[in-house]
Structure formats: C-alpha cells, structure tokens
Amino acid sequence: MATLTIPNSQMAQQESSSRLIDKHGRAITDLRVSVTDRCNYKCVYCRTGNDGAQYAELPVADYLRIVRIFVDLGIEKVRLTGGEPLLRKSLPELVRELAKLRTAVDHAPLDLALTTNGHLLAGMAQPLKDAGLSRVTVSMDAVDPDIFARITRVPGSFHKVLAGIRAAQRVGLGPVKVNCVLLRGFNEDQIVPFAKFARDEGVIVRFIEFMPLEEDRLWTPATVIPVPEVLERLHTFRPIVPLQANMLSETAQRYTFDDGIGEIGIIAPVSQAFCGHCSRIRLTSDGKIRTCLFSQFDHDLYGRMRRGATDEEVAAFIRFTVEQKEARHHIGEPGFLKPSRSMVHIGG
Ligand code: SAM
C-alpha cells in the first residue's frame, strides 16, 4: 500500500486558516468517514466473496477527535460510511457525539448523513434519528428481489432493505436517497422499475455509473451504462424534465417527470466527471486520509495521532494533505492505474 510521507518542516509552514482549500482552489467542505471496511453484502461490482475486515477500526473517541479537528477547519457535511457502517455497534454513540459539533463558519449543526446498504436499517433508523442523524442514503441496485440477490449475493436481502427505507422515511431521516449502481448485464432493465419505485415510495433514486473501484477485475468501458441510454429508457416510461442543481458541487444531474412526480438523479463520474467541483475528502476506517477515490496514496493521520501529535499538528497535517488533492481522476485514459484501495476499503 502506498503511503506519502510529508516532512514536518513543510507542515509547519502551513498557515492557519479556518477553511480547507486545495492547490486547485477548491474548498473542501465534505468529509466521508468510513467506520469499518467489513460488509454483510458481497455486491458483484464492489467486493469479492471473501468475508472479514482488511483494515483496522478506530475507537469512537478517535474518530470524534479527528472529525472535530476537520470541522474546526471548515468541514460542514459529514457522511458516515464503510464497508457497512451499521455493522459498528457503537454507531449511535458516534452519531450522538458528532451531532453536538457546530460548523466553524456559522456555528450551524453539521449536516450529518449516513450511507448504508439498508440491511439492518429497519431496527436502527429510530435510534439513529434520536441520536441526531440528519438523513440517509440507501444503496439498492434492483427492485426485483431476484436480481437484487444476484447482485448482493445475499438471498432474501431485498425485503430487509425495503423495510429499512420505509423505516427511515417514517422516522424522518429523509428525503431518503436510493443509490443504484448500473452494471451492464445485471440491472439495466431495472431503470424503468426504479422510476416507478421513486414515484411510489417518495424517494430520490440516483443512478450511478460503475467505476473501476471493485475488488474483482470486472470493469471495462463496456460495463458502464451510458447516460443517454439511461435517459432514453426513462423516457420510454414518461417524458423527463431536467431540474436545477441545488449547488455547484452537486454530483447528480436531476430530473423529474412531466407530471412533476418523482425525482431521479444521474451521477456520471466516469463519462461526465465532476472533479473540478469536488469538495470531498475521505477518512478510512483505519485513520488514513484519501484525497481522491482514485488516489495511489494513503496519508497516515492516525499514525501521527498515535505518536502523540497535538490537535494543532493534526490540523497542520490535514491542511497540508488537502492541498495535495489530485486535480482529477484519469479513468479511461492510457496509463490509468487502479487506486491503491478498492471502494469498500476507502468508504464511498
Ligand atoms: N455499505 C454501504 C452501502 O452499501 O451504501 C456504504 C459503503 S458502499 C462502498 C458506498 C457506495 O459505493 C454504495 O452506494 C455502492 O453502491 C457504491 N459503490 C461500490 N463500489 C462501486 C463501484 N465500483 N462503482 C460505483 N459505485 C460503487
């Protein structure tokens, strides 16, 4: 695994500022925190069939210290992810403490979100809401239970996820977003059923292009369903109407239908990359900073904490690391290298 070492002398030169800005001028306001790289699903586009964690999990107090320092540096949104974050028993405790943090700029509560496969969500939605979670995104790649089981490689999983989505809506963890990774040969015929699902269930369904971040070597350009095909398929159901972006860094192109019912998003990181507006930074379950999903480097934040770094030294390391954020990914270009970790070990 590649690790970039940054000399202390260079770190000391970092000026103190309450905003994280990279060398390309992008403000970094969105932190994704992976709390485990274990998962109870084996989605074909993500994991191999092997079980178990590959990387360590930090104690809640250490995630909390790290996030607090990030928030002091200008982070406004925190998304908890994994692996499958609901496998961490201490998740409600972490959420409860994170919900007490206030943003550095206007002292507003953090936007605190969770990405989950939804398998355990029915029983966890209320405790997470009570702990202070703002909203959830549920990953669900088919509305046909058999296709769903073929993708997750866990029989009987669909109805648990559906119950999880409904519980999240019931307790007020909405608007619930449902993310569907499209993969040629598996679920392109689910696009129209998902449109109906979005309208019937009142959720925002977002189709995501398959990226070369999987453990198995499945990805080729031919496995990606092109955006025009997604739009055409939606159009066979009802005429679609574009919606305005909510903000500049929004990753999804938003659509509704001619009657205004239902919202669909299309996230096309491969064919229509949005790196120029990227506001994200990631922390792995074992406390490494990842500046891009496709990075070749882990930046060892936790190692520094374990060696006794003060909050100021941790903050200086974060600032220095953020500055190094890659301009963009190079998927599909000659010489493209797969990242040094797959999605499940980074945190999506
Ligand atoms: N277990 C949680 C879940 O299923 O949402 C959180 C972690 S999962 C790695 C986060 C997101 O990454 C999911 O929406 C998943 O579908 C997506 N994902 C995983 N591998 C991907 C890939 N190769 N390309 C695109 N999205 C991927």
DSSP structure string for 147-190: HHHHHH--TT-HHHHHHHHHHHHHHT--SPEEEEEE-TTTSGGG
Report which protein residue has its CA nearest ligand 1's atom 12: 348
Residue 89 class from Cβ within 10 Å (0-12 exposed, 13-18 middle, 19+ buried)? exposed
Report which protein residue has its CA nearest ligand 1's atom 17: 348
In this predicted model, what pLDDT tens digit does every residue of 219-259 receive, in sequence order? 999 999 999 999 999 999 999 999 998 877 778 999 999 99
Q: Give the mean model confidence (pLDDT) for residues 161-177.
A: 97
Per-residue pLDDT at 17: 52
In this predicted model, what pLDDT tens digit does every residue of 256-301 receive, in sequence order? 999 999 999 999 998 988 899 999 999 999 999 999 999 999 999 9
- The tokens for 334 are 């000659």
Q: Is the peptide bond before 92 cis (omega within 30 degrees of 0)?
A: no
Give 335 Cα–ligand 1 centroid separation in angstroms. 25
How many other C-beta atoms are found inside a 10 Å radius of the C-beta of residue 175? 13
Per-residue pLDDT at 178: 98
Inter-residue contact 204 to 178 (CB < 8 Å): yes
Top CATH class of 21-346 equals alpha beta
313 has pLDDT over 70:
yes
- The tokens for 80 are 């908890």
Best residue among 45, 220, 282, 342 to mutate for probing ligand 1, ranked by most atoms within 8 Å of CB: 45
Q: 158-171 and 145-152 are packed helices; what angle lies between their axes, rounded to 10 degrees?
A: 100
Give 7 Cα–ligand 1 centroid separation in angstroms. 34
Q: Which residues contact 220 (CB under 8 A, 6 or more apart)?
A: none
Q: Where are the domains of the chain?
A: 21-346
Best residue among 37, 41, 181, 223 to mutate for probing ligand 1, ranked by most atoms within 8 Å of CB: 181
- Pocket residues: Cβ below 6 A from ligand 1: 39, 45-46, 81-82, 84, 115-117, 139, 179, 181, 208, 210-211, 213-214, 343-344, 348
